[in-house]
Amino acid sequence: MLINSYALGASAGAFNGGDIIFTIFTFALLLLLVKKLAWGPLMGVMKQREEYVASEIEEAEKSRKEAITYLDEQRELLKEARSEAQLLIENAKKQADVQRQEITKVAHEESERMKESAKLEIEQQKEHAVAAIREQVASLSVLIASKVIEKELSSEDQEKLINEYIQEAGEGR
Amino acid sequence: MNHEAPMYEFMGLWFNLSNVLMITVASIIVLIIAVVCTRNLSMKPTGKQNFIEWVMDFVRNIINSSMDWKTGGRFHVLGVTLIMFIFVSNMLGLPFAVVVGHELWWKSPTADPAVTLTLAAMVVGLSHYYGVKLKGVGGYGKDFFKPKAFMFPLKIVEEFSNTLTLGLRLYGNIYAGEILLSLLAGSLAFSTWWGTLMAIPLTVVWQGFSVFIGSIQAFIFTLLAMVYISHKVNHDH
């Protein structure tokens, strides 16, 4: 009895064509509804996302390329700036050198000039001094002569006198 | 335990009303799942949308394993509907069976050979339709004589055996599961006191196994449907 009830012909012997038609019909309807209500919109979104991802990837690749270009550019600029800076330093050094030389030269000339003028002055002072001595010696001689003439003295006295005066002159100096 | 089907004649056709009911229920559940999961679609999928997209991708992978997406894409909806409908149908009979009087009303619709064979015949019929549509009558007809002409009778037989195996495999698995469930919960549970005791863990185990079987069968049915269609549609076979 149990076996019988679960056998293939459980549907009381009648051919259930209605089930078949109903199954087909319902499944077709379900297919249609699922396609309209769920599959369509979902596929739309999935496609949209796919496109979005693709475009994002493209964008990323593009910006990466751009970044590389920028980097190269920046590197080039940096290199240029560095060499320029080097040049500037070089120039400054050169200028400083030139200036240094000029300054030392000017200082040298100045000192030379000062030395020259100092020498000149010394010479002048010497001349002055010699002239003054000469004058004094002359006047002294005249004085000695007049003293000698004033007193007719003996040669001893004369000598004594001369010595005295010379002494005097030596002291007077 | 002698359950009968609630048969009803309408316009010369016999309807098994329990099948009609259960197919309708399964369809409504599938539709509800599909519609609920595709509300508020967004680019960044969350929760429900992830689930339905996983189903879509799963079926897409099944199709991609047998044909390229250019030809197979048109069968995507069919595959998605098939796998969801069969899975839900398989699950429907698991929690309980409703018997009114002597008639079994609540069961898996896939536990009836008429339903499964109808689905199988529909798939095979579609494969022929698309074979003609995509390759022309000539290309479609030539396929029956490949790789050798004497294979022709075998090819004819194959079409029928494909239909039968596709439908009966599903039917057999689900029906057997339901028989055992009804035996466990219906007969064993009411036999003796230790029978009742034994019936509880056994039913739990068998229900778990039936969930597994139901999922596998839904997957296999969809997979084979796509393979059969691809045989008719693909050019290099």
> Do residue A30 and residue B35 have CB atoms under 8 angstroms apart?
no
Residues of A in contact with B20 (CB under 8 A): 18-19, 22
pLDDT at residue A56 in the model: 94
Q: What's the pLDDT band for A10 if we cut at 50, 70, 90?
A: very low
pLDDT tens by residue, A36-90: 888 888 888 888 888 999 999 999 999 999 999 999 999 999 999 999 999 999 9
pLDDT tens by residue, B36-71: 888 877 777 778 888 888 888 898 898 888 888 888
The DSSP-derived string for A72-117 is HHHHHHHHHHHHHHHHHHHHHHHHHHHHHHHHHHHHHHHHHHHHHH
Q: Which residues of A touch B (CB under 8 A)?
A: 1-2, 4-6, 8, 10-12, 14-24, 26-27, 29-31, 33-35, 37-39, 41-46, 48-49, 52
Total domains present in chain A: 1
> Do residue A22 and residue B179 have CB atoms under 8 angstroms apart?
no
pLDDT at residue A9 in the model: 44
Q: Most B CBs within 10 Å: which of A42, A49, A51, A55, as the mutation test of the B interface?
A: A42
Is A13 a member of any domain?
Answer: no
> How big is chain B, counted in residues?
237
pLDDT tens by residue, B101-139: 677 778 888 888 888 888 899 999 998 898 888 888 888
Nearest to B77 among A12, A34, A45 (CB): A34
CA distance B120 to A113: 125
Instruction: Provide the shortest C-alpha distance from residue B6 to chain A (in Å).
Output: 8
Nearest to B15 among A18, A24, A43 (CB): A18
Enter the ipTM.
0.81
> Do residue A41 and residue B41 have CB atoms under 8 angstroms apart?
yes
Q: Which domain holds residue A34?
A: 18-172
Task: Return the residue matching tokens 């030596």.
Answer: A170
Cβ atoms within 10 Å of B56's Cβ, excluding its own = 19
> Do residue B23 and residue A22 have CB atoms under 8 angstroms apart?
yes
Is A1 a member of any domain?
Answer: no
C-alpha closest to that of A94 among A105, A83, A86: A86
Residues of A in contact with B35 (CB under 8 A): 37-38
Q: Which chain B residue shows the shortest CA-CA distance from A21?
A: B118
- First and final C-alpha spacing in chain A: 175
Amino acid at A20: I
Q: Which chain B residue shows the shortest CA-CA distance from A30?
A: B27
> Do residue A46 and residue B85 have CB atoms under 8 angstroms apart?
no
Residues of B in contact with A48 (CB under 8 A): 43
Q: Are strands B103-106 and B98-100 parallel, antiparallel or unpaired?
A: antiparallel
- Whole-number percent of chain B with pLDDT over 70: 94
The DSSP-derived string for B209-221 is HHHHHHHHHHHHH
Is A94 a member of any domain?
Answer: yes
pLDDT tens by residue, A106-125: 999 999 999 999 999 999 99
Residues of B in contact with A43 (CB under 8 A): 56, 76
Q: How many CB pairs under 8 A join A and B?
A: 131
* Residues B198-220, mean pLDDT to the nearest whole number: 87
CA distance A77 to A71: 10
Nearest to B16 among A11, A29, A46 (CB): A11
Q: Most A CBs within 10 Å: which of B80, B163, B178, as the mutation test of the A interface?
A: B80
Question: ∠B130-B136-B138 over CA atoms, to 5°?
Answer: 125
Q: What's the pLDDT band for A12 if we cut at 50, 70, 90?
A: very low
Contacts of B227 by beta carbon, 8 Å cutoff, 6+ apart: B66
Is A2 a member of any domain?
Answer: no
CA distance B18 to B26: 12
Decide if pLDDT at A4 tops 60. no
Query: Number of C-alpha atoms within 13 angstroms, CB side, residue B100?
Result: 7
> Could you give phi then psi for residue A50, rounded to 5 degrees?
-60, -45
Is A164 a member of any domain?
Answer: yes
Task: Return the residue matching tokens 């529909």.
Answer: B122
Instruction: Provide the shortest C-alpha distance from residue B151 to chain A (in Å).
Output: 32
B167 close to B116: Cβ distance less than 8 angstroms: yes
Q: Which chain B residue shows the shortest CA-CA distance from A48?
A: B43
